[in-house]
Amino acid sequence: MANLQEAELHYVFGDTLPAVGSTSLVADGVRWLRMPLPFALDHINLWLLRDVEETASGTREGWAIVDCGIDSAATRAAWENIFAHELQGLPVLRVICTHMHPDHVGLAHWLTERFGCRLWMSATDWNVARQISGAEGDAHSGSLAAEFYAQQGLLDAAALGKVRSRPNYYASMVPQVPSRYRRLMDGMSLRIGAHDWQCIVGYGHAPEHIALHCPALNTLIAGDMVLPRISTNISVMDFEPEANPLPLYLASIEAMRRLPAATLVLPSHGKPFTGLHQRIRQLGEHHDARYADVMKACAEAPQSAADLLPVLFNRRLDSHQMTFALGEAVAHVHALHGDGRLQQLAGADGVLRYRSV
């Protein structure tokens, strides 16, 4: 969703980016670092927060890590540089994960074991991550996923064969999730170092996403809920095939309007920016436009979610992007069907199609 709307946002640090293995100061006690990802979206932003904890022997200073990167050799190597050069000789006291997606929780087990500290995240996302990364996660990939995509109109035998035969994709990036954690809940206040951070729950992108807002710093660690250049992926997945996540997501970001308009937003992808209220409006308008595109196509002829991919995405999609895009297409038709604007039709070929009411 990179377009002229970016002129409404202000990138506080311009085009300056921290090099892999280094950090940049973005607010008092808050440092920005980036880790590589092996996808078209090639990075994730992570955050180091100066922290302190009370122990039986006194006060101990250190760091809180917010989000982790996927479990890969490149990510581990980048973290080793951070440990050697950016922690000022201080330990990591806790690891906080905004949600359960691989680029956020992938190395949580490695980091918590290395520093003997606790993982903090929402109960829902911890439980889902534990389930999918383990033996039960094999069902998340493979035949059930292929069956779901086929029902949505993906009929290409080669594409379905790749889905059916691939191993547990999640576990390849999240091989383990810590067996113990501290629960984050909406409205909870966390004292991290010298500042209080408020937990803000968000739905639609992940089961129970937690963003962190610091009123004293006027700063929001937004995770994936508000991104500056692209729209957050909102998908229906095979393990919850009747889900309706898009209205949940839009309501979640609309609730963030209560934060000050000049809030410094620290997103998981893209650059830190101000213009939170403008971005919330832009994202709402983006999905309204996609709703209109879907309604127009479904008025001309019944459409499956796969039929709607070229309507919703005007670019070539690789196999990785295609599954996310199909999940987004299903999210749009489910929202419109839930509002009574689309009628669902079950075809003799087993494909679900939709037509305008």
Residue 337, number of CB atoms within 10 A of its CB: 16
- Looking at residue 162, its pLDDT comes to 85
* Nearest alpha-carbon partner for 268 in 25, 51, 94, 45: 45
Sign of CA pseudo-dihedral 68, 72, 78, 79: positive
**Residue whose token pair is 């927060």:** 49
DSSP string of 134-171, one letter each residue: SGGGGGTSTHHHHHHHHHTT---HHHHHHHHH---HHH
pTM for this one?
A: 0.96
**Residue whose token pair is 């991550």:** 129
Q: What angle do CA 110, 123, 126 make, to 5 degrees?
A: 30
CATH number of 4-296: 3.60.15.10
Residue 143 reports pLDDT greater than 50: yes
If DSSP codes are grouped into helix, strand and coil, which group holds residue 226? coil
At 71-93, the pLDDT tens digits run 999 999 999 999 999 999 999 99
Residues 240-267, mean pLDDT to the nearest whole number: 98
- Looking at residue 244, its pLDDT comes to 98
Which residues are CB-neighbours of 133 under 8 A, at least 6 positions away? Answer: 168, 170, 171, 174, 175, 176, 177
Residue 135 reports pLDDT greater than 70: no
Split at pLDDT 50, 70, 90, the class of 1 is: very low
* Nearest alpha-carbon partner for 228 in 183, 276, 191, 182: 276
Distance CA 79, CA 68 (A): 9
Q: What is the mean pLDDT of the chain?
A: 94
Domain range summary for the chain, segments of one domain joined by +: 4-296
Sign of CA pseudo-dihedral 219, 233, 277, 250: negative
Split at pLDDT 50, 70, 90, the class of 3 is: low
At 270-314, the pLDDT tens digits run 999 999 999 999 999 999 999 999 999 999 999 999 999 999 998
